Amino acid sequence: MNGEYRTLSNQGIESNVLFFGQEKCLPNYFFKGNNVRNNYIIHYVQSGKGTFSVANHHTVNLKAGDIFILPKGVPCFYQADGKQPWSYFWIGFSGVKIKTMLNNSKLVNKYYLRQVQESQTLASLKKLFKAAHNQNSLVNDVLIESLIYKFFYHLLTEYPEQNKLKSKNSNEELQLAINYLEQNYINPACTITSVCHELDISRSYLYNIFRQNLNLTPSQFLTQLRMEKAKQNLLNSSYTVQQIANTVGYGDEFTFSKAFKRYTGLSPKFYRKKSNH
């Protein structure tokens, strides 16, 4: 087989190209590694044909001009045809916005799109693949990021998902975010960014579902969790202020005390003293 595989070093939080490559497959070739991926990998079939299947979906025959995606965290299998084996190029994407953008396109339900040769989606994907080969530089990093959004813009406008039940999904994701914060607020590493990474969603999407459902920002909700628990500890324990700070995700007493006073109007020591009288 003739092919290439390369990784990129620039690591954007919201979206970036993690790796890319291309392959001219031998007859009946299939990938023998782990069939569950840690990222979203989009393939474009340049010639030939093959079969593709995702867990709980029927196997489909794909050919030159088709796109398919290896979804993150879902088992999948693909194999070159025995007589006309395919060649393809691929791009692996990572970042908290990728799932949100894919979820609003037709690609996420079927995991493939047929005959996209004349689409702006393919044209922008090819430009992105070409730019990924350029010498690493700040200018090229900016170009790659802009082309990622251009690709997803065309994917969302040319192949939008019409029947997505957003309310159900947003309610589920809100509950997942709440559960994550309630279970992890004691850890100083628990931040809004860590929630987005854990759920693979963007900050703006998380902000919107919190505001719409709780009338709080995610940061306000996390602060409320920590401060209400701190109030309980101040009233019902003999822990020092430093110890209480540590139990609600703050590394030092000073930062905790400032946050507590902003939240309650009182210092932790004065809150304890006033409440015990």
In angstroms, what CA-CA distances link 12 with 85, 131, 239, 264? 35, 16, 41, 37
- Average the pLDDT over each of 45-59, 153-167, 208-222 and give the range with the smallest value: 153-167
Give the confidence band of 222 by pLDDT, cuts at 50, 70, 90: very high
Average pLDDT, stretch 210-219?
92
Give the confidence band of 277 by pLDDT, cuts at 50, 70, 90: low
CA neighbor of 125 nearest in space, from 60, 61, 41, 48? 41
Q: Average pLDDT, whole number, for the chain?
A: 85
Q: Which long-range contacts (CB under 8 A, 24 or more apart) does 203-211 make?
A: 203/96, 205/100, 205/173, 206/173, 206/177, 209/170, 209/173, 209/174, 209/177, 210/174, 210/177
In our burial notation (b when 16+ CB lie closer than 10 A, e otherwise), range 177-208 reads bbeebeebbeeeebbbeebbeebbbbbebbbe
For residue 42, give the amino acid letter. Answer: I
Q: What is the pTM of this model?
A: 0.56
- For the cut 90, the answer to whether the pLDDT of residue 86 exceeds it is yes
- For the cut 70, the answer to whether the pLDDT of residue 42 exceeds it is yes
- For the cut 90, the answer to whether the pLDDT of residue 249 exceeds it is yes
DSSP conformation letters of 38-64? SSEEEEEEEESEEEEEETTS--EEEET
Structure confidence by residue, pLDDT tens digits, 118-130: 899 999 999 999 9
Q: Go through the chain and tell me how many residues it has.
A: 277
Structure confidence by residue, pLDDT tens digits, 141-179: 888 888 999 999 999 888 887 654 444 477 888 999 999
